[in-house]
Structure 1
Amino acid sequence: MRGWLITNAFLHTHKFTEIHLWLTEAAKKLGVELIIKTNAEVLVLLDSNSTNVESKNSHERPDFILFWDKDVRLAKYLEIKGFSVFNSSQAIAACDDKSLTHLYLQSAGIKMPRTIVAPMTFSNIGYTNLDFLDCVVRELGYPIVIKECFGSFGQQVYLAGNRQELIDCVTDIGAKPMLFQEFIQNSKGRDLRLQVVGNQVVATMYRYSENGDFRANVSNGGKMKPYEPDQKQIELALRCCKIMGLDFAGVDLLFGKNQEPIVCEVNSNAHFKNIFECTGINVADSILAYIIKRICIGKR
């Protein structure tokens, strides 16, 4: 069996290349050749006369594509060409945009922090007035969490404790899509990351901050320890992935007033080095085993 691992041609950091290596090694252990292809090598060719990608070399056509990038146009193109793509283009797009994630989950009644999506503006105009912030404050109160809709590792997440901080934050973000959320005080500086593959939670870690940061992300200085999720947490994570159409994901949960789980974010291509170091579980092995099982079932 042969697969492609689609990566981004322009993102070169150890954090990403290490994950790519773990995925190819996991495939090798299962007797599968997983070939790395960048989104600059496999281009979107919109031509009504074209047939399939690599049609001139059909023997090189992969049995599946593990799409470890956010180039959703390419992912959609590969699906149109008949490839089995994991995760799907729609699932990746819905997770990449945090506002879409919340809309998907809201429609299914998933418990999340109360959220307001900022009105869309244009990059050459920006916000000519900030009157809508009055409604944001009235509905959510302070402190207010501000998130850029596109961001990773907690680096585009901010906290405003008063109106001036809110205005400064919105002004700094500019015309980029953003949303506002109520601050879950009981979960300040702590959350859960549940790694889901298929219909299973394969690993979970508790993340916590001891430096006063309201975010628990390890990338921001947070710490971690293994965690045994309860049935409610497991069921919520699995339900989120089903709603979003995800084959695998990292689901982040907050703690409500009575410790009830509240969904913070769902990550389609969640990095799993930290959870490996925390739990000893290599999520790459589960992802490849799941994909191979799906492909084999489809060939029967």
Structure 2
Amino acid sequence: MSRLLIVVDRAKDWAPYYPSEDVLTFDQYLQYASPATGRVRVINLCQSSKYLSKGYYCSLLAEARGHNVVPSVMTLNDLSRKGLFSLQLDELDRPVVRWLEKAGAVIEPAADEREATHEVRVRSFFGQVAQPELKLVARALFERFPCPILEIVFKRRKQWQIDSLRPGAPSELDESEQDQFAAALDRFSSIVWRKPRSRRRYRFDLAVLVNPEEELPPSDETALKRFERAGRKLGINVERITRRDYMRLPEYDGLFIRETTAIDHHTYRFARKAEAEGMVVIDDPVSILRCTNKVFLADLLKNNKVPTPKTLILSKDQKDAVARVVTELGLPVVIKIPDGAFSRGVIKARDEAELASGLKSLFRQSALVLAQEYFYTEYDWRIGVLGGRAIYACKYMMVKGHWQIYQHGESRVESGGFETLPTYEVPRNVIQAALNATRLIGNGLYGVDIKQSGNRVAVIEVNDNPSIDSGVEDKFLGGELYTLIMQEFLTRMEDKRRG
């Protein structure tokens, strides 16, 4: 269980806000004895952050005690060095510059208005601002300089730029800003607003990263609720978070990613940060790296003699790509970009003209493209593997009249039917192929897609973030599937705490 502490200079600095036992003065924090177990998270709201001030010592002591503190000493040092944040805004969205033009006040007049110096001052609270146009800027600055209250000064001489950044304190805020700060703190860490006597104490805290707007999320709403119930029965407080909660990660003991992952994406950054904080992570960053790029995965499986369809890796500079594919793989053939998901970025070419056109289209998106023999089956196996053992099995049927399990239309996505079976009814060579493939990736939760025709099996891909939806993957095991996964988190979190 994590503990949240808010440190202020004096008790009266917190007077406008909800009273809480989690609020300490700096002098009280000096005498604070860390609990024997669990994480401690510190939000440093001391007024001065200058070198050797109370605010500086608060962050320094927190780091010495192994507490996760915002802002860190590194952030305070970085904010004192203007060169690190004097950033040009040329590449930001037009609405930002337009808003600054309207809001800017002249501070140094000039004969030519274009040469005058304009200034805008804005306060950001945990990366949130009242001005919609500046939200992306504030969030980016918070991720680079995590600070509860940050005063941002924009100046325009010949062009707009960030002129200064300064940590702020609650005592500097007016009533309107106090409300903004309270709301931002509430979102950043709701624990402080709960009355202690009403809290139920859990042994561990698990964050589940979701995207409420995602069209095809890995788990539906019912499945997420079942994960939450299963975790709480085991003494795990399961709480959903979104990409806005990046800086809250150290409050938790584990991270479960239930949002489609990619390398150039916040899901990968979340996994990296969680691992760096010593948390239990599924999907871990290595698994994301190995699974989300099909070029890497194809080479890995081939070199380790895991059965796959015949595969070629093509470069956009290859002049003979079409001829090579036809000669070595034949037609029809499947071509795909390395980082597609849910059957996106995948083309079936029936003749040389379609192949040439398809490669031209995919090479606009990626320097490398995979070509794979066309291996049609009426369904794909999906074997769920957790911690090196198979825990569920599904047959995903092809969409009627289509060659894939998903078909993307202009307005909706169609999927074929499914059949969920106990793993002991799955052919042994299918299970073994799944285990052999995941052994090369890691020890997390995976969904292995496999084609089977007679005695031949071929691993299509390994998903680091497999679908677990109510009424589909849990059709046979029911609630036991969610308990198995939560039990794995519990075991790993207990091992972390002991170790």
> TM bucket by the smaller chain?
0.7 to 0.9
What whole-Å deviation, never above 9, does each CA across 1:114-172 have from its counterpart, x for those lacking one? 111231x5xxxxx7x85322212221110101122222222332211101111222233
Query: Counterparts of 1:119-134 in structure 2 under 5 Å?
Result: 119=315, 131-134=320-323
* Whole-angstrom CA distance in 2 between matches of 1:53 and 1:16: 21
User: Aligned letter for 2:450?
Assistant: L
User: Aligned letter for 2:419?
Assistant: K
Q: Which moved more, 1:66-75 or 1:193-202?
A: 66-75
* Whole-angstrom CA distance in 1 between matches of 2:356 and 2:390: 40
In the alignment, which of 429, 432, 444 is matched to residue 235 of structure 1?
A: 432
* Whole-angstrom CA distance in 1 between matches of 2:487 and 2:229: 12
* Whole-angstrom CA distance in 2 between matches of 1:105 and 1:276: 25
* Whole-angstrom CA distance in 1 between matches of 2:458 and 2:313: 18
Greater CA radius of gyration, 1 or 2?
2
Query: Counterparts of 1:31-50 in structure 2 under 5 Å?
Result: 31-43=235-247
Shift in Å, 1:111: 0.7
Shift in Å, 1:13: 6.3
User: Aligned letter for 1:32?
Assistant: I
Shift in Å, 1:107: 2.4
Query: Counterparts of 1:1-300 in structure 2 under 5 Å?
Result: 1-8=204-211, 11=214, 16=219, 18=221, 19-43=223-247, 54=250, 61-69=251-259, 70=261, 71-119=267-315, 131-177=320-366, 178-185=369-376, 187=377, 189-209=378-398, 211-217=400-406, 220-227=414-421, 228-256=425-453, 258-273=454-469, 275-276=472-473, 278-279=475-476, 281-282=478-479, 283-300=481-498
In structure 1, runs of 5+ residues without a counterpart are 44-51, 55-60, 122-126
* Whole-angstrom CA distance in 2 between matches of 1:203 and 1:146: 29
CA contact (8 A) 2:448 2:461 kept: yes
* Whole-angstrom CA distance in 1 between matches of 2:323 and 2:231: 52
CA contact (8 A) 1:208 1:216 kept: yes
The residue matched to 2:473 in structure 1 has which SS?
helix
What whole-Å deviation, never above 9, does each CA across 1:240-265 have from its counterpart, x for those lacking one? 11211141111111014x43221011
Percentage of matched positions with identical amino acids? 22
What whole-Å deviation, never above 9, does each CA across 1:166-212 have from its counterpart, x for those lacking one? 12222333422331101124x2x322111112232221122223723
Q: 1:205 to 1:53 in 2, by over 3 A?
A: closer
CA contact (8 A) 1:196 1:202 kept: yes
CA contact (8 A) 1:145 1:180 kept: yes
Q: 1:197 to 1:259 in 2, by over 3 A?
A: same
CA contact (8 A) 2:345 2:362 kept: no
User: Aligned letter for 1:29?
Assistant: K
In structure 2, runs of 5+ residues without a counterpart are 1-203, 262-266, 408-412
Alignment length (residue pairs): 276
What whole-Å deviation, never above 9, does each CA across 1:26-56 have from its counterpart, x for those lacking one? 322323111222223215xxxxxxxx964xx
* Whole-angstrom CA distance in 2 between matches of 1:37 and 1:265: 28
* Whole-angstrom CA distance in 2 between matches of 1:232 and 1:32: 36
Shift in Å, 1:90: 0.9
What whole-Å deviation, never above 9, does each CA across 1:227-282 have from its counterpart, x for those lacking one? 421222212212211211141111111014x4322101111111122633643535
CA contact (8 A) 1:26 1:288 kept: yes
The residue matched to 1:215 in structure 2 has which SS?
coil
* Whole-angstrom CA distance in 1 between matches of 2:313 and 2:235: 46
User: Aligned letter for 2:445?
Assistant: F
Q: Normalized against structure 2, the TM-score is what?
A: 0.50
CA contact (8 A) 1:23 1:285 kept: yes
Q: Which moved more, 1:72-81 or 1:211-220?
A: 211-220
User: Aligned letter for 1:264?
Assistant: I
User: Aligned letter for 2:346?
Assistant: V
Shift in Å, 1:14: 7.1
Q: Normalized against structure 1, the TM-score is what?
A: 0.81
